[in-house]
């Protein structure tokens, strides 16, 4: 089997896995316990936190550990909305967001919050003028993904933050799950940042929420002391230490990995030009790790299933989206429902080989002539 679904999950790096095993074996106590073994575990946790803070240029006490990016997004969005509802109940987001953001927005809407969706332009970037029009005195939160999980569009986070600076009661949340460990993060003026290490060769079961020190959150889990009053539960030391290791390795190899993947992405784009029924949805603002296409006249699930039968594993949309539904991100970009129903997402890695690219293109060509009439 050949893997082209790295946006959904990445294989754990051996060094990261070894860190998890070593820490889990050597530190058996709860880091919150006051005895010597607990204090040793606490010291190791602090080392991991210091490492993450140094890489991301944030303060150690701004880091909150969760079970994954979905929990981090829910805590950031619901926690901020609940804490600051006295200032208003208006929230702005985009149609490009992950389902853990959309789901949190839907839950808040059921509680009486007003959710507006900002337009995106032909390149998939947030329409900054429309954002300015939507912002109000009672806007308490704007949530925009750094890189979306289906088309891979890299948003202008710094410019959005500049606009929001004029609204002192409005927080800025950025889901950086598809960006962390892959591209440099510009988060100096962002209030809440979320990501998970399993997207950059870390382990599943751990997530990170950066909450700037002047921001408060309404906890979503109650009871059980932890590293912060905003998210309770026993710290998962092995996962936290492995997350720090994954981030360290990703940061050290970021530029080389990016250039490798960019070359593979260009090769696929060039190859798809010969197919008249192929539309490349990823724009010139997309990161190279994700290449999204629509196939006119084909059913995406059928095409994907046949590729899988031939040993090629890729997705139609984000792995967290419901099957047989149009891609909300592609529809927001193209305004074409048929295009949004016929999407394939090819997500790449620095581990992807030339032989794997050749196998993908060979299988794709056969499927295209089988299903596209």
The total number of residues written for the chain in this structure? 373
**Catalytic residue IDs:** 320
Give Cα 357 to chain centroid, integer Å.
24
Quickly list DSSP for 199-217.
GTT--TT-EEEEE-TT---
Write out the two tokens for 335: 């305004």
Phi, psi (degrees; rounded to nearest 5) at 240: -65, -45
Of 372, 297, 310, 305, nearest to 341 (Cα)?
297
Neighbouring residues of 74: CB distance < 8 A, sequence distance ≥ 6: 100, 103, 104, 220
Measured CA distances, 145 to 142, 252, 343 (Å): 10, 24, 20
Q: List CB contacts of 189: < 8 A, sequence separation 6 or more.
A: 158, 161, 162, 165, 172
Here the tokens at position 62 are 């701004």
Which residues are bridge partners to 343 per DSSP?
A: 294
CA dihedral 168, 75, 201, 30 (to 10 degrees): 120
For 293, phi then psi, to 5°, come to -130, 155
The beta strand positions in the chain, using DSSP E, are: 2-3, 63-66, 90-93, 114-117, 139-143, 171-175, 192-195, 207-211, 278-280, 290-295, 312-313, 343-347
């Amino acid at each position: 089997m050949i893997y082209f679904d790295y946006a959904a999950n990445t294989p754990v790096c051996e060094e990261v896995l070894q860190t998890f095993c070593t820490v889990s074996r050597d530190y058996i106590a709860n880091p919150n316990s006051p005895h010597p073994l607990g204090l040793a575990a606490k010291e190791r946790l602090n080392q991991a936190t210091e490492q993450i803070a140094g890489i991301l240029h944030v303060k150690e006490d701004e880091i909150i550990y969760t079970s994954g990016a979905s929990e981090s997004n829910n805590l950031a969005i619901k926690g901020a909305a609940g804490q600051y509802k006295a200032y208003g109940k208006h929230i702005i987001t985009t149609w490009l967001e992950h389902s853990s953001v959309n789901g949190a927005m839907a839950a808040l809407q059921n509680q009486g919050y007003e959710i507006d969706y900002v337009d995106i332009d032909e390149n998939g970037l947030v329409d900054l003028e429309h954002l300015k029009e939507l912002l109000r005195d009672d806007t308490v939160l704007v949530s925009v993904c750094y890189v979306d999980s289906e088309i891979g569009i890299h948003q202008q986070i710094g410019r959005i933050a500049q606009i929001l600076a004029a609204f002192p009661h409005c927080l800025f949340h950025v889901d950086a799950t598809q960006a962390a460990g892959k591209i440099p993060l510009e988060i100096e003026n962002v209030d809440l940042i979320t990501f998970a290490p399993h997207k950059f060769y870390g382990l599943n079961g751990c997530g990170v929420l950066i909450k700037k020190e002047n921001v408060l959150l309404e906890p979503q889990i109650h009871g059980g002391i932890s590293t912060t009053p905003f998210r309770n539960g026993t710290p998962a030391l092995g996962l936290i230490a492995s997350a720090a290791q994954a981030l360290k390795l990703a940061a050290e190899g970021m530029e080389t990995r990016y250039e490798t993947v960019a070359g593979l992405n260009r090769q696929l784009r060039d190859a798809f030009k010969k197919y008249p029924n192929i539309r490349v949805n990823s724009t010139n603002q997309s990161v190279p790790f994700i290449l999204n296409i629509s196939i006119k006249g084909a059913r995406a699930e059928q095409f994907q299933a046949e590729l899988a039968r031939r040993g090629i594993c890729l997705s139609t949309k984000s792995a967290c989206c419901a099957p047989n539904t149009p891609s909300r991100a592609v529809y927001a970009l193209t305004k074409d429902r048929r295009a949004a129903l016929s999407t394939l997402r090819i997500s790449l890695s620095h581990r992807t080989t030339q032989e794997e690219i050749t196998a993908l293109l060979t299988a794709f060509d056969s499927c295209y002539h089988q299903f596209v009439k």
